[in-house]
């Protein structure tokens, strides 16, 4: 912290992350002042006051007006600090990086859920069709396979077929239906690789944001405002 010639303003040099804490501190102070202003707004006299009591009330009025001025001044300084921090963050692309991280995290969440839904007893649609055709063409004794016009009746009989038993499980045909494999093993591997690469990209972006947060930023601050930063 370096004093200027006027000694009413000091140059405060802190990391961006500390400036964010300074902003939070000013927000707390503004909340306290606003509370005092609200409590002091309703000033009433219910009886005759002596000279000392009048003096006390006069001081209360002065303090009330001073709080209003302080509140507005601190707000102005807070806006200026946030503007300086925002400008540096914009130069470093922090907001874009944080937005990108948020979207990539959503992508990872969706892809991981897809991967979790891949279960061993899934079968491909073409494999399912082959099973149906094999059942349809399976001879019954020495007779030819009967012709069926009602696929629903046929599927009821297929449920108990030995040809279908390898695929019957808690997630297979029957109570919960057949789990159809939508993605091939190659596509599943591609999704796994995409999750890994996306998580690495998220990690790198977060590191870049963290590095930006430790950059130093110097801002000229009134002495009375800088005094609030002692508690951060």
Does 93 have pLDDT greater than 50? yes
Encoded tokens for 23 = 């902003």
Alpha-carbon distance of 164 to 172, in angstroms, equals 10
Cα 179 off chain centre by: 33
Element (H, E) at 131: helix 125-137
Give per-residue pLDDT as tens, 108-136. Answer: 999 999 999 887 777 777 777 777 777 67
Burial (Cβ within 10 Å: 0-12, 13-18, ≥19) of residue 168: middle
Mean pLDDT within 26-34: 97
- pLDDT at residue 122, as a whole number: 76
Give per-residue pLDDT as tens, 141-172. Answer: 545 555 555 555 445 455 545 545 555 544 44
- pLDDT at residue 129, as a whole number: 78
- pLDDT at residue 97, as a whole number: 97
For residues 34 and 40, the answer to whether their CB atoms sit within 8 Å is no
More confident residue, 22 or 1: 22
Write the DSSP string, 72-129: HHHHHHHHHHHHHHHHHHHHHTHHHHHHHHHHHHHHHHHHHHHHHT--TT-EEHHHHH
Domain spans, the chain: 2-92+216-231, 119-182
Alpha-carbon distance of 55 to 45, in angstroms, equals 13
Cα 129 off chain centre by: 44
Which of 23-27, 58-62, 92-96, 143-147 has the weakest average pLDDT? 143-147
- pLDDT at residue 17, as a whole number: 95
Mean pLDDT within 197-205: 98
Does 38 have pLDDT greater than 80? yes
Which of 5-19, 67-81, 166-180, 194-208 has the weakest average pLDDT? 166-180
Give per-residue pLDDT as tens, 74-86. Answer: 999 999 999 999 9
C-alpha separations of 199 from 41, 88, 209 in Å: 54, 26, 15
Of 115, 56, 79, 61, whose CA–CA distance to 225 is shortest? 79
């Amino acid at each position: 912290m370096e004093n200027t010639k006027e000694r009413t303003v000091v140059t405060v040099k802190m990391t961006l992350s500390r400036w964010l804490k300074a902003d939070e501190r000013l927000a707390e102070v503004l909340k306290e002042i606003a509370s005092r202003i609200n409590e002091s707004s309703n000033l009433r006299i219910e009886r005759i006051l002596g000279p000392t009591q009048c003096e006390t009330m006069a001081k209360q009025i002065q303090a009330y007006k001073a709080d209003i001025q302080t509140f507005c001044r601190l707000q102005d300084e807070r806006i200026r600090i946030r503007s300086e921090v925002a400008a540096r963050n914009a130069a470093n692309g922090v907001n874009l990086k944080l937005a990108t991280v948020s979207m990539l995290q959503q992508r990872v969440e969706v892809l991981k859920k897809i991967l979790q839904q891949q279960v061993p007893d899934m079968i491909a649609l073409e494999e399912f069709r082959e099973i149906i055709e094999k059942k349809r063409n399976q001879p019954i004794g020495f007779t030819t396979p009967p012709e069926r016009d009602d696929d629903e009746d046929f599927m009821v009989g297929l449920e108990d077929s030995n040809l279908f038993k390898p695929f019957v499980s808690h997630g297979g045909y029957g109570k919960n239906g057949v789990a159809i494999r939508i993605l091939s093993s190659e596509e599943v591997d591609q999704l796994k690789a995409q999750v890994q690469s996306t998580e690495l990209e998220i990690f790198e972006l977060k590191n870049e944001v963290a590095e930006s947060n430790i950059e130093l930023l110097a801002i000229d601050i009134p002495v009375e405002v800088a005094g609030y930063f002692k508690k951060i």
